[in-house]
Amino acid sequence: MWTLFLLAGTTSALRFGEIATHYLGHAFDENAYTAAELEAYEANFNRHLMQDGLENVEGFADDASRDQRIKAILQDSEPVITKRKVAQWNLAEDAALSEEKPVNVFDSADVERVKKAVETASGYGNATYWIASAPSRFYSESSMASIRDAKAMMGTFIGNDAKTLPDTWEKSTEDAGDLPTAFDSREHWGKICPSVTHVRDQGACGSCWAHGSTEAFNDRYCIANPTRKELFSTEHTTSCCGLVPCYSLGCNGGHPGLAWWWLTHFGVVSGGDYGDTSEFCWPYEVAHKKAPRGTPQCRRACPNANYSKSFKDDRHFGKRAYMVHGIDNIKTNLQKFGPVTSAFMVFDDFMSYKSGVYTGPKAGAKFLGGHAIKIVGWGEEKDVPYWIVANSWGTSWGESGFFRIKIGSKTGMDWGGSAGEAGKQPATLDGFESIVV
């Protein structure tokens, strides 16, 4: 059933479809959605209107500024996954780029070049490398994430807004030699370090920057200290690696490279998933609620009163944080020390990923934002090389929370990432000025 919107100055109510037609400037195609998707679209629209202080659509007044706001809200209220989109992604060709050079995710010109190429492309072919579906993490009969919800989860600054570390790691002569065709951290270290195979969920929060960095640091700490198998607190990083020195905004986005620097210098306490208080100092605090909420406050004491260690004594430090640029350097560093944090451009087709090797955005896909993850390995299938990656969207998404993405996918993941080395004492503050200035 449609909710009827009462408009000021009228004697009748208008259906959602009529509202949509007016603000979109063209006939609204209700047949593009299932009944459940239409209800979700309308519910999302109402929710986002309230979030933006526009609870009542007050008629078709001659107010261009207000109309543009409502149009933008309407466009972002569409479910990010629909049955028609899934069918489209399973048939659409990959968006072709005019240049073959690698995509620098830290360069705004490169980011805009890819966005334009993808969003204006068209064409259908046979999608032979990956399968799209409607994962329950974002799509169910009772709740469907909107485009705005999806954008809010892309919390990593990319392009010229991104801040990177001054220190850079490059393989030395002692690292020379052929790299294997395949390497998987889960097989190599998974039995020793549970964090390597553990999949997190960032919930309704743009904290991917904190997840990608803290998770990789967690893995590397255990790899260097095999008896230390505890999970680290992604909430600690999200809430306390703030504007200074991380130039980060908690659930509203941040910089994974600067998070690595913060982790090594200030240390992170233990912490499990949302609702898990049995073994850790500070578990994750953000659930899957769509209603907006602020970033949980930074703490100086363990929220878990039953935890045996003090907050100060529970911190884990590193001895170095750095950038790793280039495919060979990423592989070599990963094989030597453990998973690497990286960032890439996400388009809406990626939300529907189920399995296979994601080869890059499909023609006509919409750009959502920058997303941070941890690369855990690499391999090859049907002559297509790929990264093996841990996402932070729970185990119901993708390949039990992981995904594979083509090396050279034009999403920017190959350009480079951030990483570091574990230590038992805080690293010195050398280089602080070059980061925060």
- Stated length of the chain: 437
Radius of gyration (Cα) for the chain, nearest Å?
22
The 10s digit of each residue's pLDDT in 67-119 is 899 999 999 999 999 999 999 999 888 887 766 678 899 999 999 999 998 98
Mode of pairing for the β-strands spanning 402-406 and 353-358: parallel
Give residue 427's pLDDT: 60
Q: Do 70 and 127 fall into the same domain? A: no
The 10s digit of each residue's pLDDT in 176-204 is 678 999 999 999 999 999 999 999 999 99
Q: Do 129 and 228 fall into the same domain? A: yes
Cα three-residue angle 329-326-108, rounded to 5 degrees: 150
* Token pair listed for 42: 């309308």
55: in domain:
yes
- Where a domain ends, among 52, 78, 104? 78
Give residue 435's pLDDT: 46
106: in domain:
no
Give residue 279's pLDDT: 82
Residue ranges in the chain modelled with pLDDT below 50: 1-13, 432-437
Q: Do 166 and 54 fall into the same domain? A: no
Q: Which amino acid type is present at position 196? A: V
87: in domain:
no
Domain range for 365 is 119-436
Cα three-residue angle 428-434-436, rounded to 5 degrees: 90
Q: Do 209 and 74 fall into the same domain? A: no
> The pTM is what?
0.92
Taking the CA atoms of 332, 336, 339 and 341 in sequence, report the sign of the dihedral they define.
Answer: negative
Per the annotation, the verdict on 391 as an active-site residue is: yes
419 alpha-carbon distance from chain centroid? 17
Q: Do 174 and 68 fall into the same domain? A: no
The 10s digit of each residue's pLDDT in 227-237 is 999 999 999 99
What CATH number did the domain enclosing 288 receive?
3.90.70.10
28: in domain:
yes
Per the annotation, the verdict on 371 as an active-site residue is: yes
Peptide bond between residue 245 and the one before it cis (omega within 30 degrees of 0): yes
Q: Do 24 and 123 fall into the same domain? A: no
41: in domain:
yes
Q: 41 φ, ψ to 5°? A: -60, -50
Given the residues 193, 205, 208, 281, select the one marked as catalytic. Answer: 208
96: in domain:
no
Q: Do 198 and 345 fall into the same domain? A: yes
267: in domain:
yes
Q: How many domains does the chain have?
A: 2
CA distance 388 to 256: 19
Q: Do 266 and 140 fall into the same domain? A: yes
- Where a domain ends, among 78, 103, 136? 78
- Where a domain ends, among 57, 78, 99? 78
Q: Do 285 and 341 fall into the same domain? A: yes
Give the largest CA-CA distance in the chain. 80
194: in domain:
yes
Q: Which amino acid type is present at position 377? A: G
Q: Do 194 and 302 fall into the same domain? A: yes
Q: Do 288 and 411 fall into the same domain? A: yes
Q: Do 71 and 127 fall into the same domain? A: no
Give residue 150's pLDDT: 97
Per the annotation, the verdict on 241 as an active-site residue is: no
